[in-house]
Amino acid sequence: MNSARERIIAALEQQAKSEVVAAEVQQLRNRLQRADAHAQGGSSAGEEIVARFRARAQTAGAVVMQAHTPADVPGLLDEYLRAATSVILGEDALVRASGLGETLRGRGDACQVRSVTDADLQRETDDWKHRYASADLGITGAVGGIAESGAVVITSSEYESRSVSLLPHTHVVLLRASDIVPSLPAAATLLRSLIMERGASAVTLIDGPSKTADIEKVLVTGVHGPRTFVIVLITDARDDASTGTRPL
């Protein structure tokens, strides 16, 4: 058997070591941890982290709002909700806790309210993509935040489609402040848990609205992804808000 795979691996094995020494890997991880801790300046939790997250998310072009509890969210988002003629909601715990579905449906016909679970948004239905694309607003929950860059972490699951945060021109994400970690290396545990334990096929870090500088390095917002990106930080502490085991 001399497939491409066999030939490539054979060529590589002549030039490389075949066994990884665990101690070497651990040494690299320790150095990385130390460098990262040093880079974060010792801050690992609390207001400093949240403040840094806000500032850097704003630098990346996100609109950042703060709510004390999920129930405050509909009020905060009033302007965006009133401007939208069609909204698609994720079904994760945070979005449900915010009561956005009820608020929007309570407004009657003014706004078409959909959920990612609706039949005509499923893959088997014709034109499902176009329905997503014609929505003004997608609202989802995030599972984490990265303070050093102001990015949020969202994940695919039965409660969230990939499209709801991508096709509508405005994306609003709800994030618990207690789910913010200082840095990307510090988010490794969360990412590993989402991918290897929960089996999420698509975990995405989002840092601001879609943008480009491909024309003369002039920054333009809203290329292929959402033009407007809003983060609502929810500051109340909850028992289940621990990385890796929080319910979606």
Where in 59-118 is the site for other proteins (CB under 8 A)?
59-60, 116-117
Number of other residues whose CB lies within 10 A of the CB of residue 112: 15
Q: Is 226 in the site for other proteins (CB under 8 A)?
A: yes
Q: Name which of 7 and 107 has its Cβ closer to other proteins.
A: 7
How many chain residues bind other proteins (CB under 8 A)?
89
Q: Is 213 in the site for other proteins (CB under 8 A)?
A: yes
Least distance in angstroms from the C-beta of 201 to other proteins: 5
Query: At 88, is the secondary structure helix, strand, or coil?
Result: strand
The binder of other proteins chosen from 15, 42, 79, 245 (CB under 8 A): 15
The binder of other proteins chosen from 69, 85, 125, 212 (CB under 8 A): 212
Q: Is 225 in the site for other proteins (CB under 8 A)?
A: yes
Q: Which stretch binds other proteins (CB under 8 A): 43-51, 68-76, 152-160, 230-238?
A: 152-160
Bridge-based pairing of strands 144-146 and 151-155 is antiparallel
Q: Name which of 110 and 223 has its Cβ closer to other proteins.
A: 223
Nearest to 62 by CA among 246, 205, 237: 205
Distances (CA, A) of 102 to 74, 92, 115: 10, 15, 12
Please give the residues from 24 up to 43 whose contact with other proteins meets the rule CB under 8 A. Answer: 24-25, 28-29, 31-33, 35-36, 38-39
The DSSP line for 142-154 is -SEEETTTTEEEE
Query: At 115, is the secondary structure helix, strand, or coil?
Result: strand
Q: Which stretch binds other proteins (CB under 8 A): 42-50, 76-84, 95-103, 121-129?
A: 121-129
CA–CA separation, 137 and 168 (whole Å): 5
Q: Is 9 in the site for other proteins (CB under 8 A)?
A: yes
Q: Which stretch binds other proteins (CB under 8 A): 76-84, 136-144, 199-207, 230-238?
A: 199-207
CA–CA separation, 127 and 138 (whole Å): 17
CA–CA separation, 167 and 93 (whole Å): 22
The two tokens of residue 207 are 């840092």
Least distance in angstroms from the C-beta of 82 to other proteins: 25
Q: Which stretch binds other proteins (CB under 8 A): 80-88, 104-112, 197-205, 235-243?
A: 197-205
CA–CA separation, 150 and 210 (whole Å): 14
